[in-house]
Amino acid sequence: MGCFRLISLLLVLHIAAVASRSHNIRLEGNGYTNLVIAVNPGVPEDQNIITKLQDMVKSASDYLFSATRHRFYFKEVKILLPLTWAPVNYTKGRTESYEKANVIVAEPYLKHGDDPYTLQYDECGQMGQYIHLTPKFLLDDTMIGVYGPRGKVFVHEWAHLRWGVYDEYNEQKPFYISMDKKAEPTRCSKDISGSTGALSCKGSSCSVETCTIDPATSLPTENCKFFPDKNQNTATSLMFLQSLSSVTEFCAETTHNSEAPNMQNKMCNYRSVWEVIRDSEDFKGSTSMTTIPPPPKFTLIQQSDRVVCFVLDVSGSMSGNRLKQLQQAAEIFLRQIIEEGSWVGIVTFSSVGNIVKELTLIESDASRIALVNKLPTTANGGTEICRGIDKGFEVLRKDDAKTDSDEIILLTDGINNTPVNCLAKVQESGAIVHTIAFGESADKILYNMSSDTGGLFFTALDQVDSTSLIDAFAAIRTSDGNLTKQSIQLESSGQKMKAKDWFNGTVSIDKSVGKDTFFVVTWETTMPDMYVRSPGGQTYENVNFTVEASFGTARLNIPGIAQTGAWTYSLYNTLTTIQSLTMTVTSRAADANVPPVTVNSHMNQDTSTGNAPMVVYAEVKQGFLPVVHANVTAVIETETGIRTTLQLLDEGGAPDLVRNDGIYSRYFINLQNGRHSLKVNVQGSNGTTRLAVRRQGRAMYIPGYVKDGKIELNPEKPPVNEEDLQLNLGSFSRTTSGGGFTVTLDPNAQPPSFPPSRITDLDAELKDYKVFLSWTAPGEDFDQGTAESYEIRMSTNFEELRNNFSAGLHVNTQCLSPKLAGSKETFIFSPKEIPIENGTIIYFAARANDNQSLSADVSNIAQASMIMPPPTEIDSINITTIVLAVTGSVVAICIIASTTMCILKRKKCFSA
């Protein structure tokens, strides 16, 4: 691929451990196992959903086997049913959960269509997050006429999920000018034939009219659609139109359309889908089968009541402030986070394990207080994690004699006194183990315990002004998919306060939350003066708080549904000495039928050796709809207290893939040895932050087909109600822990040095015989700082620029000074070497350089063209392409030639 190869840093990133649900899937021989499909608890019980899922996967297995040239099939599949469905002798689940399922079945929020889609936001070749199918897609057979057979649709989405490939269509750019100066539909392969037409709908009645050409772009206007022929002579491609009966394969080198302006070309450096699959670890570790694979085996499992056991370290090293911080965080979990209907037990351990509280049903405030009263108050002895684990399992078995799907929250601050020999027992238990490493001395085995059981891993900073321990407990929420039951963390802040000083803050409560709202204050030595003021002006003071003096906590419970708007708080340190104070605010959904705004965050790797940058991701959404234009900040802390703050962006510049899709990201390059914690804060602004539609990773909705020379329309796709999307979310506050991760640097190696990030949104336009280029500025080190310079090259030959960037004509950028990373760059110039005339097509690519002579990967290829359409409207277009005639008067040609000569003589460089 010449200069379009991925540099070694990104190759390392490709094989690193990534926080993705699809990593739980295993490839055994040629068959995929441990594929989990989970049904959302909000989906009404319907046995037909189970049947349709089984039929879909059976069919998909056959299609997959054929499409991968006898390489892969689906071997074992688990279907996880919600607790809200009546039990029918289903198997009890083990470590499976809705939130970690590979495929989810759930209603769309605000009824924005039933498009199957895969959530993916990482590099090409990286696994996606999950596939989302709606009940209507599974149950309504009219959907087959629109999307194609369900099995083929599932293979399309599976390729997104497992192999990290992208779509070969582009709804924003459905047509493009090809190298032979023709307007082509964006597709793969170019062998797919069809007709174009302008779809016009009035009410429920739709018709197809003749397309018109936009004179500014020489492309069909926005309402022009491509209607494929129902009967085709090509087998590619499943990532474009899986609905066509003839399409059964992925585009390969010989069939790939590298010119098409689609996400597959943009993200995968113009490689075909089959090339990406062939480079995957799945492909490299397998061979083609010589026999027909067996049908998939299905296991129906059902979620159960939530059962949790604390396993808490009370060894000598936990005494003092550590024990107090544990009490504060555990109390918040028991009083506010754990959901009603759950069961909780408490075990402590030091040199031995001790059952402190048997399983207790959370059914009232009294049951919560009973558990709080059993939290440890003393700490001494050694550290024997396995003895605590054994006692935890003993507690969990008290309800049904099993530990399957039960949870352990294990917290420790020290290294085990003897080798940890219970990891195999933990792995075989079927329990989910969440681990919290409290301080820098906590045993390294904790990460293995959580990752091997589907649990969460956290690092909590051993500092009294840190809220990281509270944040860790608050993040261990129910994973059954019912967002309206979950506790939502709105605020979490701590400060080391000077004597007689104020700690002030503001929390925005939006209309999606407000039930069970708590303001919780913790202190180091003495309770401060506390003031909380509602948007309506009501002030709450110390007398309104419930105080737990021995733990150093005070709690204000707002009755009913908390008023929407800005709540302010002020804490006054009454001491004449310094003390640390924290404020935590949690709430729940105000309406059981309206999902709250939520944020999920994680790093792209759980572990790093420093050979590749790490990426911070935060997904902000309401239901399944992205929330855009929010202010998102990540705070990363090492276990020794070194803090890095990053503003996460959703602007379309690397590492962000798509602008305004609700996925905010940033590279993390300040790598330090040891464990780190991630925390993300989100602020939504009234009138600015809004909902959006997810447009990427979806199976394409086909408006109709050409059959026997006539266009037959499918039912019109339900339109997006823009009023729904413009609903004012109001100002809101959210905070969440993104868990922990570990960096292990080679002590003998130089500190990591990274090049600028790849430009992924280069755009080009020809106007007034000038070239207008625009892109998002990368930084000196990936997306940090300011790059040293840009190298821009152009060519009239797409393949030449693609295969050998350095052979392209050099564009003079001496007058172009790079801007700060994330800024919008524009560059205007008049090309001297290429005359601009009717029929001119120029391709552009760019890369940034840093002050250490490190260069970024080459950008996407942008195209600028001057193709003048004929003066008359083009007739209805049949077959594949739209042929653009080059016409004009002699006078017009003379004017163009004269103007071009004048421009070519100009030497001034225009930039902005």
Active site amino acids = 157
Nearest CA-CA partner of 265 in 188, 154, 193 = 188
Q: At 400, which helix (H) or strand (E)?
A: helix 385-400
- Written as one letter, the residue type at 293 is P
In SS3 terms, 828-879 reads as: EECCCCCCCCCCEEEEEEEEEECCCCCECCCCCCEEEEECCCCCCCCCCCCC
Q: Is 814 exposed, middle or buried (0-12, 13-18, 19+ CB in 10 A)?
A: exposed
Identify whether the C-beta of residue 842 lies closer than 8 Å to the C-beta of residue 764: yes
Nearest CA-CA partner of 620 in 729, 474, 750 = 729
Identify whether the C-beta of residue 457 lies closer than 8 Å to the C-beta of residue 442: no
N residues, the chain = 912
Question: Can you tell me the distance from the alpha carbon of 715 to that of 711, in angstroms, rounded to the nearest whole number?
Answer: 13
Q: Which residues contact 562 (CB under 8 A, 6 or more apart)?
A: 509, 513, 514, 515, 517, 534, 587
Spell 421-457 as b/e; 16+ CB within 10 A means b: ebeeebeebbbbbbbbbbbeebbebbbbbbbebbbbb
| Token code pair at residue 92 | 């009890």
Identify whether the C-beta of residue 757 lies closer than 8 Å to the C-beta of residue 669: no
Identify whether the C-beta of residue 122 lies closer than 8 Å to the C-beta of residue 17: no
- Written as one letter, the residue type at 348 is T
Nearest CA-CA partner of 623 in 694, 531, 525 = 694
| Token code pair at residue 65 | 């086997």
Angle subtended by helix axes 150-163 and 47-67, to nearest 10:
70
Distances (CA, A) of 553 to 68, 409, 529, 542: 59, 21, 13, 12
Q: At 895, which helix (H) or strand (E)?
A: helix 890-905
Q: At 408, which helix (H) or strand (E)?
A: strand 407-412
**Secondary structure class of 637 (helix, strand, coil):** strand
Q: At 546, which helix (H) or strand (E)?
A: strand 546-548
Residue 818 has a CB neighbour count (10 Å cut-off) of 22
Backbone angles phi, psi at 312, to 5 degrees: -110, 135
Question: Can you tell me the distance from the alpha carbon of 24 to that of 27, in angstroms, rounded to the nearest whole number?
Answer: 10
Question: Can you tell me the distance from the alpha carbon of 73 to that of 88, in angstroms, rounded to the nearest whole number?
Answer: 29
In the sheet with 579-589, reading across from the earlier edge strand, the strands are 488-497, 579-589, 513-523, 553-561, 546-548
Identify whether the C-beta of residue 637 lies closer than 8 Å to the C-beta of residue 461: yes
Token match 């959580």: residue? 450
**Secondary structure class of 63 (helix, strand, coil):** helix
Distances (CA, A) of 668 to 27, 665, 671, 781, 789: 31, 10, 7, 10, 22
Residue 174 has a CB neighbour count (10 Å cut-off) of 19
**Secondary structure class of 778 (helix, strand, coil):** coil
Q: Which residues contact 903 (CB under 8 A, 6 or more apart)?
A: 769, 770, 830, 836
Backbone angles phi, psi at 211, to 5 degrees: -70, 150
Residue 203 has a CB neighbour count (10 Å cut-off) of 6
